[in-house]
């Protein structure tokens, strides 16, 4: 790829690769911006917008690639506010020399993910940088969504007594990435959970809207980081039960081999919800009824704790602090 | 104010101001001085002030007075210095005890002390008003640190606040000729605390094989008959998964021989007023102790009774003899006395907490109504290379300071993550807190914060600087970052070496080794370097805040990070990979499904230079154990197998200060006899590490060698290194007053951070 100057070659690249892959009426307007109508019947509500950069190695992994991930991740960030995701943008930084075939595969995967989710990529940008100034492809996506009137979820709303729910097993994405990175061979292939969660969220809001306090997707830093963020933002403690947290056996086995704690491993298709205790059972039912929440569970509850500790009780009856790690998991046993 | 007898006349009269420094307050110093002055016919005054005890004395025998001050000082006093200044005699008559002069530094709370001999006599004297009273004490004994809420150390600020003295106790408290003059916890059956159960009832439960939770000085013990295997095994079962050795309490010093092979040093240590648990060599023959007291270990921890209730229990268990002969005769009774800390949480100190947390463990929960204000586990000491060394430092030792030799800013050092202590410096002294524990539970973190607050409060200081480890995810580091103080991050192993130097009063450059399980390394030889690498077998020169990594052990894979520390089989696989035999992994560990997979990907694992993990590798290769219940278990079991250490010829290589034990590992991999392997492992370590140190010492002109890190708690290794280094003309320094492991890390951090702060911030710039 030698399309750095931004001239005709770049136009060709966009026409050949991104336009067909992401095609929709808004993108077809062909402008530097897209003009979009408010959704039908949107009498009120709040617009939300998010943006996220995607850097992943390897670019292709079991269960997805950087293209689908960039769509799912941004949709999920919108969905966690209870919003209906409406439109996405995408910006590509491509390293000179990156194979066309791979770029094409990423673009088509991205288009498929957007179409499956019903959320079009309505505008985009592409830059090619010198070899070594990027690692293959970086993607930045932004998204706009509409939160229905009357719904106001926020990370500071967790209160003692609220229930904490998790939509499914943890660690799948991070372990899939790591096993493909290290060429680990496991009896069962571990597949990333990368998925768009807004459909699940709609069902959850419909059932438990008034009881729902907040939702978060436990991506980088895993469930441990997300629970700690919630505890800090809300000024509460959280206690979870180890045996309530679903971990797939193959993920557990890989974590054992790698010395990882599943709680600290990234997910890309899971969400954590905090709900008033009265709404917990109904919410759990709604989640379990959706394919992406089949393994949902109530994993714990919010506590009154000025120290904002997240604790995990084990089957031995002891409790330990669930840490919010600075980075990778480092040994601590001296 | 009291007046002593007048001065005898005839000889030349002199007057002096005499300053006494050290641990001289709250230990009965003033009544002692008063009595001494009376005896020698001196006039004058004694009082406490900000610097210790100040005496003005006038008479004809001042030299004898000063000599006696040192020689006859009360047992709990530690006289650091006596300074004399001549004054003009005034001719005034009488000797008085003056009022204390309040001041910041005047106020050091003494450590807790075991029931003294005089009190024991009263305890078993039917004529005494203290007969069989479980809370008797005097100026020479009793709880101190553990009952002190705040300063000054006066009864209303202690757990005795709720017990107004009866007339008899008040009279004793006011009388300088009484053993209880100004003994803040003084109490008797009429006015003092009470036990929840009759002694006879507790003794009966123990005799029936039951488990008793007993509230003591610094916390609750779990007790049972240590000679009854069923009782001890049941205690282990109820404490769950815990294979840590239990301490054993025996009736008196004469009984120690029945259960161990103590040397005179062990006995002296065990009978100190601090009454620590002392690790003693086990009897080679049958010692009468239940097998599950200290499985597979070479030492057993014995402790003598230190609270009146302990003595009363032994008395009752012996059938309440009326004469006192039992107190000095060997007794075959032994009681497990282990900390009541379910699930690795801090020791239980609160009555309600005991009823809640110990209900599934103890058959009988015995409390009393004197609150334990400050939690303090039993201290544990070993005799290493002929002298005492702390393994765990708490009750009876805290808050005695380490003298840093010079003034400096006030530093709060927050220690490590496991076995944590904190250290606070004030002036030239460093105060290391009691053992806090592992910062993995909310309860321990709460205790940790309370310890910081209590220590800074009783020292009446506000830290200028906070010191912590380089590790970003130690909870101590996290706390350091929230205090709003300048933070100095000290590399783990440099701090281990600095701790040894600090307690031995070495101010200049020092060469040392830090041998432990793990610490985060860095590329920079300053405080505040960027974290990088897993270290644990380091040759380091420390000079103030600066340090240099001169050498290290050859790296081994660390497959699975902390899991490798819990599962020695992983380190055994790492060792196999290091000697080109990774293909043996699956066959050697047939019970471990992932052994082959782990071996296959071992090149992508992080590496470590840790000696602790090398111990795990050896234990794994020798088939000692594949998994361990607690840190150091495999290493301790390996040590217990050593008869006489023996060095393998060409068992190590040394190049560019990298010490490689690969040849030793290759031999261990094929040794069938574990005792042989253990002897060879220890002997070769001693041989190689000595050569490594000697080379660096000669190259850099060092004579004194600091030996720090948790591996130095291994007696065979520590003594072997000490002897070998001396044979090479070097002076080895071992950890003595603070533990060699991470329990002593806060002292090293404090010492280095003080140097950094003294030099000015913006470390890295020199
Ligand atoms: Fe250490
Ligand atoms: Mg985001
Ligand atoms: Zn006494
Ligand atoms: Zn009384």
- Put simply, the chain B residues between 722 and 741 with a CB less than 8 A from any chain A CB are 741
A63 and A137 part of one domain: yes
For residues B338 and B300, the answer to whether their CB atoms sit within 8 Å is no
**pLDDT at res. B740:** 98
Alpha helix locations (H) across B460-561?
Answer: 475-480, 492-503
* C-alpha span between B483 and B448 (Å, rounded): 14
Cα distances from B38 to residues B8, B33, B53, B94, in angstroms, run 11, 8, 17, 9
Q: Is B30 a catalytic residue?
A: yes
* B133-148 average pLDDT score: 95
A162 pLDDT higher than 70: yes
Residue B388 touches partner A, C-beta closer than 8 Å = no
Alpha helix locations (H) across B319-427?
Answer: 351-357
A215 and A92 part of one domain: no
Comparing CA positions, the residue from B136, B190, B145 lying closest to residue B26 is B145
Q: How far is A319 from chain B (nearest CA, A)?
A: 6
* A80-99 average pLDDT score: 95
CATH code assigned at A242? 3.90.650.10
User: What are the sequence ranges of the domains in chain B?
Assistant: 14-106, 199-382, 556-684
Per-residue pLDDT of A217-274, as tens digits, reads 999 999 999 999 999 999 999 999 999 999 999 999 999 998 999 999 999 999 999 9
Per-residue pLDDT of A299-326, as tens digits, reads 999 999 999 999 999 877 678 999 989 8
Residue A52 lies in a domain: yes
Pick the residue from chain B with its C-alpha nearest to A317: B343
* C-alpha span between B504 and A101 (Å, rounded): 68
Comparing CA positions, the residue from B604, B594, B590, B521 lying closest to residue B559 is B604
* C-alpha span between B191 and B267 (Å, rounded): 36
Cα distances from A231 to residues A167, A218, B1, B186, B716, in angstroms, run 19, 14, 59, 47, 48
Residue A69 lies in a domain: yes
CB pairs under 8 A between A and B: 101
Residue A182 touches partner B, C-beta closer than 8 Å = yes
B761 pLDDT higher than 50: no
Question: Domain boundary at A90, A123, A147, which?
Answer: A147
B165 pLDDT higher than 90: yes
Q: Is B48 a catalytic residue?
A: yes
Residue A334 touches partner B, C-beta closer than 8 Å = yes
Kindly give the distance from the C-alpha atom of residue B407 to the centroid of ligand 1, in angstroms, as a whole number.
27
Chain A residues with CB-CB distance to B518 below 8 A: 331-334
Concatenated DSSP letters of B538-575: EEEEEETTEEEEEEEEPPEE-TTTHHHHH-HHHHHHHH
Q: How far is A114 from chain B (nearest CA, A)?
A: 36
**pLDDT at res. A5:** 54
Q: How far is A334 from chain B (nearest CA, A)?
A: 4
A256 and A136 part of one domain: no
* C-alpha span between B757 and A62 (Å, rounded): 52
Cα distances from B642 to residues A324, B638, B646, B713, in angstroms, run 42, 7, 9, 15
Element (H, E) at A105: helix A100-117
- Helix, strand, coil % over all residues of chain A, rounded to 5: 35, 25, 40
CA A131 from centroid of its chain's CA atoms: 29
A187 pLDDT higher than 70: no
Q: How far is B607 from chain A (nearest CA, A)?
A: 11
Comparing CA positions, the residue from A142, A145, A139 lying closest to residue A80 is A145
* A145-171 average pLDDT score: 95
Give the lowest-confidence range in A26-30, B398-402, B528-532, B663-667. Answer: B528-532
* C-alpha span between B129 and B125 (Å, rounded): 9
A140 and A263 part of one domain: no
**pLDDT at res. A40:** 75
Q: Which long-range contacts (CB under 8 A, 24 or more apart) does B149-153 make?
A: B149/B373, B150/B457, B150/B458, B151/B107, B151/B109, B151/B457, B151/B458, B151/B460, B152/B100, B152/B102, B152/B106, B152/B107, B153/B25, B153/B26, B153/B107, B153/B109, B153/B110, B153/B184
Chain B residues with CB-CB distance to A319 below 8 A: 343, 441-442
Residues measured by CB to lie within 5 Å of ligand 2, the ion: A 52, 77
Residue A156 lies in a domain: no
Concatenated DSSP letters of B218-257: SSEEEEEETT-HHHHHHHHHHH-S--PPPPEEESSGGGHH
CA dihedral of residues B687, B691, B694, B695 (deg, nearest 10):
-170
CB pair distance less than 8 Å for B560 and A330: no
Per-residue pLDDT of B331-371, as tens digits, reads 999 999 999 987 778 999 999 999 999 999 999 999 999 99
Ramachandran region of residue A161, left (φ > 0), alpha (ψ -120 to 50) or beta?
left
Comparing CA positions, the residue from A187, A196, A211, A182 lying closest to residue A284 is A211
- Pick the residue with more confidence: B182 or B103? B182
Residue B261: other Cβ atoms inside 10 A: 15
Residues of chain B with pLDDT > 90: what percent?
Answer: 84
CB pair distance less than 8 Å for B558 and A258: no
**pLDDT at res. B51:** 80
A108 and A232 part of one domain: no
For residues B570 and B556, the answer to whether their CB atoms sit within 8 Å is no
Kindly give the distance from the C-alpha atom of residue B19 to the centroid of ligand 2, in angstroms, as a whole number.
68
* B614-631 average pLDDT score: 95
Residue B559 touches partner A, C-beta closer than 8 Å = yes
* C-alpha span between A248 and B34 (Å, rounded): 76
Q: In sequence order, which residues have a C-beta less than 8 Å from that of residue B605 and are 6 or more positions away?
A: B557, B558, B559, B560, B574
CB pair distance less than 8 Å for A334 and B534: no
Q: How far is B332 from chain A (nearest CA, A)?
A: 36
Comparing CA positions, the residue from B275, B277, B307, B270 lying closest to residue B147 is B307
CB pair distance less than 8 Å for B516 and A334: yes
A202 and A126 part of one domain: no
**pLDDT at res. B345:** 85
CA B327 from centroid of its chain's CA atoms: 28
Give the lowest-confidence range in A15-29, B30-44, B327-341, B443-457. Answer: A15-29
How does the average pLDDT of chain A come out, rounded?
A: 92
A185: containing domain: 163-321
- The secondary structure of B741-760, three-state, reads CHHHHHHHHHHHHHHHHHHC
**pLDDT at res. B240:** 77
A125 and A243 part of one domain: no
A134 and A197 part of one domain: no
- The length of chain A in residues reads 334
A-interface mutation test, from B437, B515, B597, most A Cβ less than 10 A away:
B597
Quick one: pLDDT band at residue B107, thresholds 50, 70, 90? Answer: low
Kindly give the distance from the C-alpha atom of residue A234 to the centroid of ligand 2, in angstroms, as a whole number.
19
Give the lowest-confidence range in A31-45, B312-326, B560-574, B583-597. Answer: A31-45
Comparing CA positions, the residue from B269, B478, B305 lying closest to residue B388 is B269
Coil, helix or strand for B450? Answer: helix
Chain A residues with CB-CB distance to B442 below 8 A: 307, 309, 311, 319, 321
* C-alpha span between A301 and B169 (Å, rounded): 53
Ligand nearest to the CA of A140: 2
A240 and A97 part of one domain: no
Residue B561 touches partner A, C-beta closer than 8 Å = yes
Rounded to 5 degrees, φ, ψ at B384 are -120, 130
Question: Domain boundary at A121, A147, A173, which?
Answer: A147
Number of domains in chain A: 2
Taking each helix axis as running N to C, give the angle between helix B674-700 and helix B633-640, from 0 to 180 degrees, rounded to the nearest 10: 100
B10 pLDDT higher than 70: no
Instruction: Identify the CATH assignment for B199-382 out of 3.40.640.10, 1.10.3720.10, 3.40.50.970, 3.90.870.10.
Output: 3.90.870.10
- Helix, strand, coil % over all residues of chain B, rounded to 5: 35, 20, 45
Concatenated DSSP letters of B613-679: HHHHHHHHHTTS-S--SSTTHHHHHHHHT-SS--PPTT--EEETTEEE-HHHHHHHTT---HHHHHH
B31 pLDDT higher than 80: yes
CB pair distance less than 8 Å for A334 and B517: yes
**pLDDT at res. B110:** 86
Q: Which residue out of B15, B30, B327, B375 is catalytically annotated?
A: B30
Residue B746 touches partner A, C-beta closer than 8 Å = no
Residue A102 lies in a domain: yes
Residue A327 lies in a domain: no
Ranges assigned E (strand) in chain A: 46-54, 60-61, 64-65, 84-95, 121-129, 137-147, 163-166, 212-216, 237-241, 272-275, 297-303, 310-313, 319-321
A169 and A236 part of one domain: yes
| ipTM summary value | 0.90
Coil, helix or strand for B48? Answer: strand
Residue B657: other Cβ atoms inside 10 A: 14
Q: Tell whether domain B14-106 is in CATH 2.40.30.10.
A: no
Ramachandran region of residue B566, left (φ > 0), alpha (ψ -120 to 50) or beta?
alpha
Quick one: pLDDT band at residue B212, thresholds 50, 70, 90? Answer: very high
**pLDDT at res. B766:** 29
CATH code assigned at A25? 3.30.1330.10
CB pair distance less than 8 Å for A307 and B442: yes
Upstream peptide bond of A58 is cis (omega within 30 degrees of 0): yes
Q: Tell whether domain B556-684 is in CATH 3.30.450.20.
A: no
How does the average pLDDT of chain B come out, rounded?
A: 93
* C-alpha span between B727 and B290 (Å, rounded): 41
Comparing CA positions, the residue from A309, A299, A165, A158 lying closest to residue A240 is A299
**pLDDT at res. B526:** 63
CA angle B570–A332–B504, rounded 5-degree value:
115
Residue B627 touches partner A, C-beta closer than 8 Å = no
Ligand nearest to the CA of B744: 1
Residue A244 lies in a domain: yes
Residue A304: other Cβ atoms inside 10 A: 10
Coil, helix or strand for B144? Answer: coil
A169 and A143 part of one domain: no
**pLDDT at res. B28:** 86
A71 and A217 part of one domain: no
Most confident of B68-82, B104-118, B517-531, B571-585: B571-585
A153 pLDDT higher than 60: yes
């Amino acid at each position: 790829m030698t399309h750095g100057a931004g001239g005709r070659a770049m136009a060709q690249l966009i026409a050949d690769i991104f336009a067909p892959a992401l095609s929709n009426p808004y993108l077809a307007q062909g402008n530097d911006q897209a003009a979009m109508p408010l959704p039908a019947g949107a009498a009120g509500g709040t617009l939300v917008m998010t943006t996220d950069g995607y850097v992943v190695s390897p670019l292709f992994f079991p269960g997805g690639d950087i293209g689908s991930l960039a769509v799912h991740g941004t949709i999920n960030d919108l969905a966690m506010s209870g919003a209906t995701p409406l439109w996405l943008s995408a910006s590509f930084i491509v390293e000179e020399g990156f194979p066309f075939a791979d770029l094409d595969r990423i673009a088509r995967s991205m288009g498929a993910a957007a179409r499956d989710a019903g959320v079009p990529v309505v505008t985009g940008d592409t830059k090619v940088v010198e070899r070594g100034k990027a690692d293959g492809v970086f993607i930045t996506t932004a998204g706009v969504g509409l939160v229905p009137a009357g719904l106001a979820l926020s990370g500071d709303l967790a209160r003692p007594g609220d229930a904490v729910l998790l939509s499914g097993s943890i660690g799948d994405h991070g372990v899939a990435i790591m096993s493909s990175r290290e060429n680990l061979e496991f009896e069962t292939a571990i597949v990333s959970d990368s998925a768009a969660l807004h459909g699940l969220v709609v069902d959850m809001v419909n059932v438990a809207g008034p009881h729902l306090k907040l939702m978060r997707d436990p991506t980088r830093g895993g469930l441990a980081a997300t629970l700690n963020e919630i505890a800090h933002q809300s000024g509460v403690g959280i206690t979870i039960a180890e045996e309530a947290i679903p971990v797939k056996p193959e993920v557990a086995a890989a974590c054992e081999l790698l010395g990882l704690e599943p709680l600290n491993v990234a997910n890309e298709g899971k969400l954590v919800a905090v709900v008033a205790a009265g709404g917990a059972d109904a919410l759990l039912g709604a989640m379990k009824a959706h394919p992406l929440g089949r393994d949902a569970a109530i994993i714990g509850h919010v506590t009154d704790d000025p120290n904002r500790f997240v604790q995990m009780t084990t089957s031995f009856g002891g409790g330990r602090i669930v840490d919010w790690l600075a980075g990778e998991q480092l040994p601590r046993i001296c | 104010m009291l007046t002593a007898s007048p001065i005898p006349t005839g000889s030349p009269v002199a007057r002096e101001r005499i300053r006494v420094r050290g641990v001289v307050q709250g230990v009965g110093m003033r009544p002692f001085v008063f009595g001494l002055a009376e005896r020698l016919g001196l006039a004058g005054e004694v009082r406490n002030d900000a610097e210790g005890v100040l005496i003005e004395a006038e008479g004809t025998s001042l030299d004898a007075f000063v000599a006696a001050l040192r020689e006859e000082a009360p047992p709990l006093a530690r006289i650091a210095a006596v300074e004399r200044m001549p004054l003009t005699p005034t001719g005034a008559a009488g000797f008085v005890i003056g009022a204390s002069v309040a001041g910041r530094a005047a106020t050091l709370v003494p450590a807790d002390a075991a029931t003294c001999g005089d009190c024991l006599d009263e305890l078993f004297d039917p004529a005494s008003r203290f007969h069989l009273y479980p809370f008797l004490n005097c100026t020479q004994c009793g709880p101190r640190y553990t009952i002190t809420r705040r300063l000054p150390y006066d009864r209303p600020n202690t757990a005795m606040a709720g017990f107004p003295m009866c007339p008899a106790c008040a009279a004793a408290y006011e009388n300088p000729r009484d053993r209880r003059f100004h003994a803040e916890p003084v109490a008797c059956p009429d006015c003092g605390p009470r036990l929840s159960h009759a002694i006879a009832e507790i003794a009966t439960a123990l005799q029936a094989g039951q488990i008793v939770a007993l509230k003591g000085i610094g916390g609750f013990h779990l007790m049972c008959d240590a000679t009854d295997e069923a009782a001890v095994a049941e205690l282990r079962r109820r404490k769950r998964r815990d294979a840590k050795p239990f301490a054993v309490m025996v009736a008196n010093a004469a009984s120690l021989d029945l259960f161990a092979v103590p040397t005179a040093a062990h006995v002296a240590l065990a009978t100190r007023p601090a009454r620590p648990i002392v690790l003693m060599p086990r009897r080679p023959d049958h010692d009468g102790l239940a097998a599950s007291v200290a499985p597979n270990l070479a030492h057993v921890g014995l402790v003598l009774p230190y609270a009146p209730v302990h003595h009363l229990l032994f008395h009752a268990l012996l059938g309440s003899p009326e004469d006192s002969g039992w107190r000095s005769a060997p007794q075959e009774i032994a009681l497990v006395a282990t900390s009541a800390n379910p699930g690795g949480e801090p020791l239980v100190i609160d009555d309600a907490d005991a009823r809640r947390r110990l209900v599934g463990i103890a058959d009988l929960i015995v409390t009393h109504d004197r609150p334990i204000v400050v939690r303090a586990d039993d201290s544990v000491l070993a005799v290493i290379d002929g002298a005492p060394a702390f393994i765990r430092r708490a009750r009876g030792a805290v808050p005695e300071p380490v003298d840093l030799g010079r003034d400096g800013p006030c530093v709060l050092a927050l220690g490590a993550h496991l076995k944590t202590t904190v250290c606070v410096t004030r002036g030239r002294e460093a105060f290391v807190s009691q053992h806090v524990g592992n910062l993995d539970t909310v309860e321990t973190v709460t205790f940790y914060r309370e310890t910081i607050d209590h220590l800074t409060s009783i020292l009446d200081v506000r830290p200028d600087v906070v010191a912590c480890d380089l590790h970003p995810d130690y909870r101590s580091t996290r706390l350091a970052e929230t205090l709003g103080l300048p933070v100095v991050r000290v590399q783990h192993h440099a701090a281990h070496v600095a701790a040894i130097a600090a307690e031995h009063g070495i101010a200049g450059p020092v060469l040392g080794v830090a041998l432990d399980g793990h610490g985060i390394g860095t590329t920079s030889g300053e405080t505040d370097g960027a974290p990088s690498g897993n270290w644990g077998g380091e040759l380091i020169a420390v000079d103030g805040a600066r340090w240099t990594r001169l050498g290290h052990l050859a790296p081994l894979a660390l497959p699975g990070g902390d899991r490798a520390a819990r599962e020695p089989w992983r380190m055994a696989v790492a060792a196999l990979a290091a000697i080109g035999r990774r293909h043996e992994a699956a066959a050697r560990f047939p019970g471990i499904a992932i052994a082959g997979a782990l071996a296959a990907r071992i090149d992508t694992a992080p590496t470590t230079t840790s000696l602790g993990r090398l111990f795990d590798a050896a234990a794994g290769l020798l088939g000692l154990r594949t998994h361990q219940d607690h840190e150091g278990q495999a290493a301790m079991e390996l040590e217990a197998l050593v008869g006489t250490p023996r060095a393998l010829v060409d068992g190590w290589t040394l190049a560019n200060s990298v010490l490689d034990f690969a040849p030793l590992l290759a031999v261990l991999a094929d040794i069938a006899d574990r005792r042989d392997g253990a002897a060879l492992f220890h002997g070769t370590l001693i041989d190689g590490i000595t050569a490594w140190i000697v080379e660096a010492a000669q190259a850099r002109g060092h004579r004194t060698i600091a030996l720090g890190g948790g591996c130095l708690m291994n007696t065979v290794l520590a003594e072997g290194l000490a002897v070998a280094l001396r044979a090479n003309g070097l002076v080895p320094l071992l950890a003595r007053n603070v533990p060699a492991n991470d329990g002593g890390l806060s002292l090293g951090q404090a010492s280095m951070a003080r140097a950094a702060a003294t030099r000015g911030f913006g470390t890295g710039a020199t």
